């Protein structure tokens, strides 16, 4: 009994500093944002309490609805591209038949360490309607098709999400590949004896054993898509019009362009709640007993 008590004390002693730091860095700012969202405030003058008026205004704002829709589109593109392609590449790089696997792994991770500014300028050039690489590829293939991707309100958000996905795909590749390599080889050897092919082994062995890894990746990609700002700010500035606005861009506009800090705090609060709900849903949908091996 005494040993159990000592263990609990030891756990408290070691976890207390982390909890204090977390409270200071995360919880207090979130609480302050929720509090400020209840005021009509321009950031300089004395705040005027207006209850949930900012949230009512937010729900009736067409720009808020556009931002929500764009956030969902952005997150879906990120999840499909980063997790889907990373999984395929991880499987290919795990095959012993592939030569030069170390070079491929290194080259695929290079975009992750690049500056966001560099990546944005690169993709702005690729998407350019006059001399962009993408339109030139269509010309080489004999296709009479060209488009200024970032100036089209229908394609801009997807084009920007694709650029963001390309930059951080290597990060998720490393996570999935490392988790895949930690699976004991005798599982695959037993499956080969039973006549299982590469796809069968992947769907019957790899995916079930990587549930926790995929849960983490899915949470990071979707919440990252909902919080996206820097890439679209540099590549489109929220345009054309408001076609690439997300909640983070709405927060920026409200706070620094029209000086509605209370409204911006309300937008930030909705974003926090949205990310929290998505995280809970993912954990519920992908909850299962942890497999130890």
* CATH number of the domain residue 202 falls in: 1.10.3720.10
What is the count of structural domains for the chain? 1
* Average pLDDT in the chain: 87
Domain membership of residue 243 (yes or no) is: yes
Domain membership of residue 240 (yes or no) is: yes
Domain membership of residue 225 (yes or no) is: yes
The region that residue 287 occupies, defined by phi over 0 for left and psi between -120 and 50 for alpha, beta otherwise, is beta
Domain membership of residue 5 (yes or no) is: no
> Which residues sit opposite 49 in a β-bridge?
39
Q: What is the pLDDT of residue 204?
A: 84
What would the mean pLDDT of 133-160 be, rounded to a whole number? 86
Q: What is the pLDDT of residue 131?
A: 83
Domain membership of residue 9 (yes or no) is: no
Whole-angstrom distance, CA of residue 68 vs CA of residue 62: 10
Domain membership of residue 123 (yes or no) is: yes
Whether 2 has a pLDDT exceeding 80, the answer reads no
| Domain extent at residue 136 | 62-285
> Quick check: pTM over 0.95?
no
3-state secondary structure of 204: helix
Express each pLDDT in 189-245 by its tens digit: 888 887 877 778 888 888 888 888 999 999 999 999 998 899 989 999 888 888 899
- Which band of pLDDT confidence, cut at 50, 70 and 90, is reported for residue 3? low
Q: What is the pLDDT of residue 13?
A: 80
Express each pLDDT in 147-156 by its tens digit: 888 988 888 9
Domain membership of residue 85 (yes or no) is: yes
Whether 167 has a pLDDT exceeding 90, the answer reads yes
- Which band of pLDDT confidence, cut at 50, 70 and 90, is reported for residue 290? low
Choose between 43 and 252: higher pLDDT: 252
In the block, tokens 């983070």 appear at 248
Q: What is the pLDDT of residue 289?
A: 58
Domain membership of residue 98 (yes or no) is: yes
DSSP percent split of the chain into helix, strand, coil, nearest 5: 75, 0, 25
Choose between 237 and 3: higher pLDDT: 237
Q: How far is CA 274 from CA 109, 165, 207, in A?
A: 30, 21, 27
Express each pLDDT in 239-275 by its tens digit: 888 889 999 999 999 988 888 999 999 999 999 999 9
In this structure, are residues 160 and 247 in contact, taking their beta carbons and an 8 Å threshold?
no
């Amino acid at each position: 009994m005494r040993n159990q008590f000592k263990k609990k004390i030891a756990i408290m002693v070691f976890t207390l500093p982390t909890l204090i730091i977390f409270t200071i860095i995360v919880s207090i700012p979130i609480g302050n944002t929720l509090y400020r969202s209840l005021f009509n405030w321009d950031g300089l003058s004395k705040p005027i309490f207006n209850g949930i008026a900012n949230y009512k205004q937010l729900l009736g704002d067409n720009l808020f609805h556009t931002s929500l829709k764009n956030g969902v589109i952005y997150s879906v593109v990120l999840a499909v591209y980063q997790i889907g392609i990373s999984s395929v590449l991880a499987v290919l790089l795990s095959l012993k038949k592939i030569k030069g696997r170390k070079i491929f792994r290194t080259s695929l991770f290079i975009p992750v360490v690049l500056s966001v500014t560099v990546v944005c300028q690169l993709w702005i050039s690729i998407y350019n309607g006059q001399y962009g690489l993408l339109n030139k590829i269509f010309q080489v293939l004999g296709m009479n098709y060209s488009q200024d991707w970032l100036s089209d309100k229908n394609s801009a958000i997807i084009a920007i999400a694709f650029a963001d996905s390309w930059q951080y795909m290597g990060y998720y590749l490393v996570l999935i590949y490392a988790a895949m390599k930690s699976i004991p080889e005798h599982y695959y050897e037993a499956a080969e004896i039973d006549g299982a092919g590469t796809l069968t082994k992947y769907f019957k062995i790899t995916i079930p054993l990587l549930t926790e890894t995929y849960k983490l990746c899915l949470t990071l990609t979707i919440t990252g898509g909902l919080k996206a700002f820097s890439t679209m700010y540099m590549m489109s500035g929220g345009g054309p019009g408001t076609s690439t606005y997300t909640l983070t861009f709405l927060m920026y506009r409200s706070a620094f362009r029209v000086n509605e800090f209370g409204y911006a705090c309300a937008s930030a609060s909705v974003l926090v709640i949205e990310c929290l709900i998505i995280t809970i849903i993912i954990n519920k949908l992908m909850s299962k007993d942890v497999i130890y091996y």
